Amino acid sequence: MPRALITGITGQDGLYLGELLLSKGYEVYGLIRGQNNPKRALVEATLPGIKVLTGDLTDLSSLIRALEAAKPDEFYNLGAISFVAYSWENASLTTEVTAKGVLNALEAVRLYSGDDPRKVRFYQASSSEMFGKVQQVPQDEDTLLWPRSPYGVAKVFGHYMTINYRESYGMHASSGVLFNHESPRRGPEFVTRKVSQAVARISLGLQENIVLGNLDARRDWGFAGDYVEAMWLMLQQEEADDYVISTGETHSIKELLEKAFSVVGITDWEKYVVQNPEFMRPAEVDLLIGSSAKAESKLGWKPKVGFAELVTMMVENDVVEQKALAGL
């Protein structure tokens, strides 16, 4: 039975990856911060059979203890402070967790592996936010990185550190440069879930409007459930490498709103949307669209869920959820 250790198990990717690995017969260990983490119950309810360990990406010794307890064949580093807007508010903490946390994870795996640097296959969750001020459309594995947020800068550090450990120590360490990927499990602070929840509440008469920033920003949105399969495929390859994971389509926030409101039968959606400069980024990333040609040819990976299906899935989920919460 293969064994895997996942950091960031409480996030949407961690939950979907945990489900995927359990379905493949893995023994799965999930790392969470703190003994009384409020999301522990969610993890245990969603992933029955998972073994929960406590640890912290900022504490190297706790990561080594987790490795010794889990004895994993695969280590998936999904843990990070991942809300881009927050990274401007706390650049220091974002750097400690999202950048230096990767170094700690790599170093823990290196020390644990001893004389066999390929003993544990390592996955690093890189991000399309690393492209930032895009220098090429679409973006692929060779596109120059030009991050435009503290989060993006931190992810670049982790990305290159993963490459460095692979080249310096011979570790089987891969990075997945994942473009935006969403689901009904996405946190409500992210724009897609903020929209799907608000649309559900507006349709139920529980909310009057939704306040957003730049409606013209464009993103390449896919389904998180598809993207975790790509993570797993990377670690099944004989040689480690880096892969862009994306749909190859781009959509604006306006298109997201139009589709989300259409799911609940609202066509005059503009009157429910308020723009507020406070929600504008200090440095915007205008156009992210990825090319996954390498992942398709080498991993045999393609996204299964399209944009319209994804938005419909999220809105329908939130209508049910908000109805239940309101007792309707």
How remote is the C-alpha of 326 from its chain's centroid?
29
- Cβ within 8 Å of residue 266, ≥6 positions away: 199, 202, 203, 272
Determine how many CB atoms are found less than 10 A away from the CB of residue 208. 10
**3-state SS assignment for residue 75:** strand
Of residues 151, 165, 227, 243, which has the active-site annotation?
A: 151
Is 129 assigned a catalytic role?
yes
Of residues 82, 127, 203, 292, which has the active-site annotation?
A: 127
Is 272 assigned a catalytic role?
no
Q: Is the peptide bond before 38 cis (omega within 30 degrees of 0)?
A: no
Is 167 assigned a catalytic role?
no
Instruction: Report angle CA 304, 191, 244 to the nearest 5 degrees.
Output: 45
Determine how many CB atoms are found less than 10 A away from the CB of residue 187. 12
**3-state SS assignment for residue 320:** helix
Are the beta carbons of 319 and 261 closer than 8 angstroms?
A: no
Of residues 27, 129, 182, 229, which has the active-site annotation?
A: 129
The catalytic residues are 127, 129, 151
